[in-house]
Amino acid sequence: MKLIKFDIQNFRNITNDNEINFKNYSVLVGRNNEGKTTVLMALRLAMDTLKLHSLQKPKRTVIFRSRNGYDWERDFPISLQKKSRGNKNTVFKLYFKLTEDEQIEFKKETGIRNNGDLCIQITFDTDNKFEFLIPKKGSSSLSNKSNQIAEYIARKIQFTYIPAVRTEQEAISVINEMIEEELEKLENDKDYQQAMAVIANLQQPVLDNVAQSIQISLHKFLPNINNVELSILTNNRRANLRKDYLIEIDDGDLTDIKFKGDGVKSLTAIGLLKDRNKIINGASIIAIEEPESHLHPSAMHELRQAIQDLTKDSQVVVSTHNPIFVDRELISNNLLVSNNKVRTVKKIKEIRECLGIRTSDNLIHENKIILVEGESDKKIITKIIQERSAKLSKKIKDGDLNIYSLDSACKLSYHLKWFQDQLCSCFVILDKDQAGKESIQKHLNSKELDQKSYSLIAVKGFNESEIENLINIEFYSGIIMEKFCIDIFSTDFTKKKSKWSDALTEVLSNSGKSIVLKDLNDLKKSIAEKAEKENIYEYLYPHNIPFVDGLILQLESYFIKE
């Protein structure tokens, strides 16, 4: 079961009917006080109300008594409260999608046929009462079974809310709930029940002795007291055992989690949430308000990866000001909250303007970037893309995709951060040498890259290689002859199994030439310029074709979401 859509009408600063489409990962972006928190609070209230209604006896109107409940004077838009006309109710609509198995199960439990779409309407009035309806043809009969429907949904979906302002209790409440749920399962175990009985029997004589002492003490002052009984309620004993645990985290200093920083508490809770749906054997919706709160910048990439992991099994809704958490790959997963309205983002430019990100003129439309090691790499890779991928070529032509030269693998950190801050989706292509491998590993460790967002230029049988290693010597032998008067075919260059620059330097040096870095760069430039004019793909070594074709497929998969 999934929540696919949520409608909000007349809640706090959101007045008009707002239809919000939810995916596995949905990001609410907007300036301060525009309504991001309002959306999450509305979703929390709706899910809490649904759960409360599932526990009520069959009736449709209930006064809300929840801690996070509805308060008309606080929650109904102030601008509409004094108007004599108009709707004075707050209305939420939750749209769920059921699987085929769930449709069968739903029919069996409620007696209601369902085609996979289920809408729940919750209306709050001026007296803080809510009405639970199923807005559908024949809705009156369906609404009479609203408790059963609510119970089914509440059992199938676990909703978790992690606020931005995390007090001591709220910061670890999610962890407490999950541990208590797991410990509660023991209460159906026979051995556990027997152990509880043993504990109760051992405790009772102690309680009786204390009760006797109390009776003797009180009898001196109140002679009419004949007896005092002292006991522990079975439910309380069970509840206390579920809470009787200690969480200690060793990050160089073994400490109770209560005394760790809010960032550690948040990461711990989100880490545990990855398995939340497995605990309840159902679906999970997780709402996280400003996940960047209380986190050191270096931990944000770790948190982003943790949240991405959550989306594999749960629906995650995030509100944020930080571009790190924006979905760059699927722009429609981002929801812009502005002027008391919520709408799906269509262009990355809208988010940039919303977050106040200033971009250079050539980045106004681009949101997909390939970062390559040098200018020659840029020209050759661009030409290969033009020859082998119509889809990527169109992206380049439309200004949606561009290729940028780093000038050196050591400059990856600066450029990657800059482009990611501009909300660009980045793919990195570096030489397969020590500098390239170290740079990639560094950014994998920091979570700024993942395994799908980079490639090293790999040549079969070579420990180190660069883009020129892919190209048949016939393509550029004339360039070497023209510059150095050396017939490269008369050397042992083709037998070398080292990086192109190193192999060529050695061969030319052995032929009596003094080679410096500028010479190599000039050669690379000339080869790249020739590649721009001719069909470079047909000059690739046959054993390198699988790598190049695989690279094109990686780029299409990464940048093109059908």
531 within domain boundaries: yes
Indicate whether 221 and 91 sit together in one domain: no
Of 56-65, 363-372, 404-413, 463-472, the poorest mean pLDDT is in 56-65
Q: Mean pLDDT of all residues in the chain?
A: 83
Indicate whether 217 and 334 sit together in one domain: no
Give yes or no for residue 271 having a pLDDT over 90: no
Contact 137, 95 (CB under 8 A): no
pLDDT band at 66 (very low <50, low <70, confident <90, very high): very low
Indicate whether 273 and 322 sit together in one domain: no
Count of H-run helices and E-run strands, the chain: 21, 18
Indicate whether 312 and 270 sit together in one domain: no
DSSP-based three-state secondary structure for 26: strand
Give yes or no for residue 355 having a pLDDT over 80: no
550 within domain boundaries: yes
Q: Name, in order, each residue with C-beta under 8 angstroms of 277's C-beta and a sequence gap of 6 or more.
A: 158, 283, 284, 313, 314
DSSP per-residue string spanning 73-138: HHHS-HHHHT-SSS---EEEEEEEE--HHHHHHHHHHHS----SEEEEEEEE-TTSEEEEE--STT
Give yes or no for residue 459 having a pLDDT over 60: yes
Instruction: Round to whole Å and give the CA distance between 555 and 172.
Output: 41
9 within domain boundaries: yes
pLDDT band at 278 (very low <50, low <70, confident <90, very high): low
300 within domain boundaries: no
Indicate whether 149 and 254 sit together in one domain: no
Indicate whether 181 and 269 sit together in one domain: yes
More confident residue, 350 or 260: 350
205-239 as b/e: b if 16+ CB within 10 A: eeeeeebeeebeeeeeeeeeeeebebeeeeeeeee
User: Count of domains in the chain?
Assistant: 3
- 75: domain CATH number? 3.40.50.300
Range of the domain at 215: 170-280
Indicate whether 262 and 382 sit together in one domain: no
User: Strands of 129-133's sheet, edge to edge?
Assistant: 18-21, 2-9, 90-97, 117-124, 129-133, 61-63
- As a whole-number percent, the residues of the chain with pLDDT over 70 amount to 83
371 within domain boundaries: yes
Contact 411, 442 (CB under 8 A): no
Indicate whether 437 and 471 sit together in one domain: yes
Mean pLDDT across 132-144: 66
Tokens representing residue 369 in the block = 């970037």
Indicate whether 158 and 203 sit together in one domain: no
Q: Name, in order, each residue with C-beta under 8 angstroms of 255's C-beta and a sequence gap of 6 or more.
A: 248, 249
For residue 484, what is the enclosing H or E element? helix 473-484
pLDDT band at 61 (very low <50, low <70, confident <90, very high): very low
Indicate whether 422 and 539 sit together in one domain: yes
Give yes or no for residue 244 having a pLDDT over 70: no
Position 60 scores a pLDDT of 45
Choose one of 298, 329, 350: the last residue of a domain: 350
Indicate whether 148 and 180 sit together in one domain: no
Indicate whether 394 and 420 sit together in one domain: yes
108 within domain boundaries: yes
Q: What is the pTM of this model?
A: 0.69
More confident residue, 282 or 401: 401
More confident residue, 375 or 160: 375
pLDDT band at 405 (very low <50, low <70, confident <90, very high): very high
Residue for token pair 């009180």: 218
- Three-class SS string for 326-391? CCCCCHHHEEEEECCEEEECCCHHHHHHHHCCCCCHHHCCCCEEEEECCHHHHHHHHHHHHHHCHH
Angle formed at CA 225 by CA 223 and CA 227, multiple of 5 degrees: 135
297 within domain boundaries: no
Position 556 scores a pLDDT of 95
Ranked by mean pLDDT, which of 253-262, 282-291, 402-411 comes out on top? 402-411
Position 330 scores a pLDDT of 85
The residue type found at 292 is E
208 within domain boundaries: yes
